[in-house]
C-alpha cells in the first residue's frame, strides 16, 4: 500500500466489515465483496472496495432516516430499473469492483 497508513487501512476495513454485518451479509459474502480476507495487509483493490462500501453506507444514511431502511435496503428486493428486481446485495456479491461502483454511483445519484 503506497502512501496509505496501514493502521488507517485496517480501521477502514473494520468499518467496512461492520457495515457489511449490519447489512446482513454472511461471512462468505463479506469475503467476496471485499475481494478476500487474508488477515494481513489491505491491498489497494481492497481499499477501493472499502471506499465504495462506506460511500454506499453514507448514501443510504442520506437517503433514509429510518435505521431499518438504512441497514435493510441492501437486502430488499428493488424493482427500480437499475436493480431489475434484485437486491443491492445480489448486485455487489458478484465480487466485481465494477458492480460496487455501479451501486455506489446509482445511490449517490439518489442523494441529489
Q: What is the mean pLDDT of residues 26-44?
A: 89
The answer to whether the pTM exceeds 0.75 is yes
| Ranges 35-39, 59-63, 103-107: which has the least confidence | 35-39
User: 77-99 pLDDT, tens per residue?
Assistant: 999 899 999 999 999 999 999 99
Is the pLDDT score of 1 beyond 80? no
Return the pLDDT at 17. Answer: 96
Is the pLDDT score of 27 beyond 50? yes
Cα first-last separation, the chain: 33
Candidates 54, 103, 61, 63; CA nearest to 82 is 103
Rounded to whole angstroms, the Cα distance separating 55 from 65 reads 16
C-alpha cell at 4: 496509505
- Cβ atoms of 47 and 3 within 8 Å: the answer is no
Return the pLDDT at 28. Answer: 95
Return the pLDDT at 93. Answer: 96
User: 38-72 pLDDT, tens per residue?
Assistant: 767 899 999 999 999 999 999 999 999 999 999 99
Amino acid at each position: 500500500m503506497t502512501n496509505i497508513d496501514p493502521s488507517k487501512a485496517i480501521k477502514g476495513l473494520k468499518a467496512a466489515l461492520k457495515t457489511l454485518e449490519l447489512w446482513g451479509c454472511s461471512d462468505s459474502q463479506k469475503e467476496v465483496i471485499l475481494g478476500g480476507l487474508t488477515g494481513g495487509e489491505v491491498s489497494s483493490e481492497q481499499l477501493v472496495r472499502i471506499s465504495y462500501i462506506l460511500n454506499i453506507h453514507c448514501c443510504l444514511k442520506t437517503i433514509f432516516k429510518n435505521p431499518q431502511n438504512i441497514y435493510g435496503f441492501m437486502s430488499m428486493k428493488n424493482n427500480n430499473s437499475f436493480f431489475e428486481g434484485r437486491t443491492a446485495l445480489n448486485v455487489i456479491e458478484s465480487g466485481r469492483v465494477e458492480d460496487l461502483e455501479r451501486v455506489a454511483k446509482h445511490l449517490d445519484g439518489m442523494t441529489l
